[in-house]
Amino acid sequence: MKIRIFDTTLRDGEQTIGVSLSPDQKLAIAKKLDELGVDAIEAGFPVISAGEFKAVKMIAAAGLSCEIAGLTRTIKNDIDAAVDAGLNYIHTFIATSDIHLQYKLKMTREQALEKAIEAVEYGKSRGLQVEFSAEDATRTDREFLKKVFGDVAKAGADRVNIPDTVGYSTPEYMAVLTKDTVEVTKLPVSVHCHNDFGLAVANSLAGIHAGASCAHVTINGIGERAGNASLEEFSMALKCLPFEKKYETNIKSELIYDTSRFISKTVGIIVQPNKAIVGTNAFGHESGIHTHGVLSNPLTYEPISPELVGRKRWLQVGKHAGIHGMNAMLAEYGVKPTEEQSKQILDKVKTLGDAGKQITDVELLSIASDVLGEKELKRIVQLTGFSVSTGIGTMPYAFVKLNIDGQDHIGTDYGVGPVDAALNAIQKITGKISEIRIKDYGLASISGGSSALCEVTVKVEDAFGNKVSAKSVGEDIVTTSVKAVIDAINRIMLKKMLQEKQVR
């Protein structure tokens, strides 16, 4: 059974606190979503601002292969704005729960029903495909909800949608409402679930299993409050979990991670590390028991192959590490310690882990070099001096001193900001030693307040096209950025050096 994916990242997702997208950004995201294979994109709410209208119009005119919808209230002016923006598909809504009717709309049930019917009829008179939503459906009187959906179906609606507006439903109740709606409308039914109780994906799947043919979702599950049902979790659950029926979507799963990263960077919302499918840790392993199992057969501790969603498996060493996982990491660099040396390296790793230190592969190699007595495994690049100056009326300036393979190098440069100046100074030094370029830089806040922690992710590339990523977390943006870049440079230079060693 083919399930329709209606993506509302650009509408409900943009309602995430702190997110505001320009028309050009919205168009870029729409193109990514279209490449991913979504069936419909809710491009925005055309009537709310000139910029939103422009964005929707640009997306509607972009020639994308998926359907493009716009949100409207049950107001003629909203529907006219959607038509003027070039849309031929609207998602129109009015609240139907008593709490919304009494405190927000100041309407009776009969008045809300009348507005719903009028909007559907008017949308159809303008030649539009109309999807109708009964806002706060899961807190609406069940019999009244059936009447609303039945009457808008008679009025000509093409689709109806069941919104769990405040994430209040359980999977069991979502299934009941879905069966009601399918029975009373005989139309394609969508479910639109919020994640206030962490049940958005479960509720969406329950709706599908009960007869819905479409789910409204967002990339990374972004959206108001706790967010919406996550596209990546929902689509991969349909693809991989053992349901009684076989479900399919048009989502190109191998593009999921790339799309997630692109949108995370564009909207400025970091993906939590333990987020299913797209989180940093989703395919990472540290525990010795787990890494041993995964190295023997990945299915022991992974439900799906990471490549299926555009990911790669990675191993981490620390206090929970085991010899098998640690040796597998060392083997990637061509380092093969004896059994006794492995035990010595692991003991040092666990000691650092017990002290609360996170150990990168660069540090692992440095530990291995002490045990094996191979100086070439030492950290190649070390930061020995660093300062920046900036202020009003002066261009940011940075001084960086690096020790590379035992020799000191100094670099200075300016930039549009202190971080830019520091990275420019580093590139001046590395350009003399090895052609290493910073290809990507990402900054995200992972805690609030005046002492907020930031997370910096960088990607560097050498002249041969080898790419390496590194991440650093700290309180100072500039220092954290420099540490991330130095770590990335070490990784790529170590890999290159050890590869050359193996060739010789």
- What tens digit of pLDDT does each residue of 17-32 get? 999 999 999 999 999 9
- Is 393 in the same domain as 497? yes
Its sign, for the CA torsion 209, 210, 214, 216, is negative
The percentage of residues in the chain with a pLDDT greater than 90, rounded to a whole number, is 61
Question: Which is it for strands 129-135 and 159-164: parallel, antiparallel or unpaired?
Answer: parallel
H helices present in 156-212, as ranges? 171-185, 200-209
49, 106: one domain = yes
Mean pLDDT score across all residues of the chain: 89
Alpha-carbon distance 154 to 89, whole Å?
18
Domain count for the chain? 3
Instruction: Select from 377, 396, 416 the last residue of a domain.
Output: 377
**279 is a domain residue:** no
Inside any domain, residue 346: yes
331 shares its domain with 423: no
Where residue 504 falls among pLDDT bands split at 50, 70, 90? low
Does one domain contain both 209 and 308? Answer: no
Measured between alpha carbons, how far is 173 from 154 in angstroms, rounded to an integer? 25
Report how far residue 402's alpha carbon sits from residue 429's, in angstroms, rounded to the nearest whole number: 8
Does the residue 276 lie in any domain? no
Q: What is the CA radius of gyration of the chain?
A: 27
Integer Cα distance of 402 and 285 in angstroms: 32
In eight-state DSSP terms, residue 379 is: -
Residue 220, both tokens? 């990374």
Has this prediction a pTM greater than 0.75? yes
Name the band, by pLDDT with cuts 50, 70 and 90, for residue 328: confident
Query: Please, is 179 exposed, middle or buried when counting C-beta atoms within 10 Å of its C-beta (0-12, 13-18, 19+)?
Result: middle
187 and 297 in a single domain? The answer is no
248 class by beta-carbon count within 10 Å (0-12 exposed, 13-18 middle, 19+ buried): exposed
Q: Are residues 124 and 184 in the same domain?
A: yes
Confidence of residue 500 (pLDDT cuts 50, 70, 90): low
pLDDT in tens, 203-215: 999 999 999 999 9
Which pLDDT score is estimated for 442? Answer: 81
Q: Does one domain contain both 366 and 289?
A: yes
**Which CA distances in Å does 251 have to 8, 436, 486?**
15, 36, 37
Q: Is residue 273 part of a domain?
A: no
CA distance 473 to 477: 9
| CATH number of the CATH domain containing 437 | 3.30.160.270
pLDDT mean over 103-117 = 98
Q: Are residues 371 and 395 in the same domain?
A: no
Over residues 285-323, the pLDDT tens digits come to 756 566 667 667 777 778 999 999 999 887 777 778 788
Q: Which residue has the tokens 């640690």?
A: 326
Parent domain of 422: 381-503
pLDDT at 160 over 60: yes
Collapsing DSSP states into helix, strand and coil, what is residue 155? Answer: coil
- Higher-confidence residue of 426 and 229: namely 229
Cα–Cα distance measured from residue 443 to residue 64, given in angstroms and rounded to the nearest whole number: 31
**367 SS3 class:** helix
In a domain, 278, yes or no: no
Q: Please give the full DSSP string across 270-303, using - where no structure is assigned.
A: PPPTT-TTTSTTTTEE-SHHHHHHHHH-GGGT-S
For CA atoms 57, 59, 60, 61, the dihedral sign is positive
25 shares a domain with 173 = yes
Give the residues across from 90 on adjacent strands: 70, 130
Measured from the Cβ of residue 37, the count of other Cβ atoms closer than 10 Å reads 19
Could you tell me if 197 and 157 lie in one domain? yes
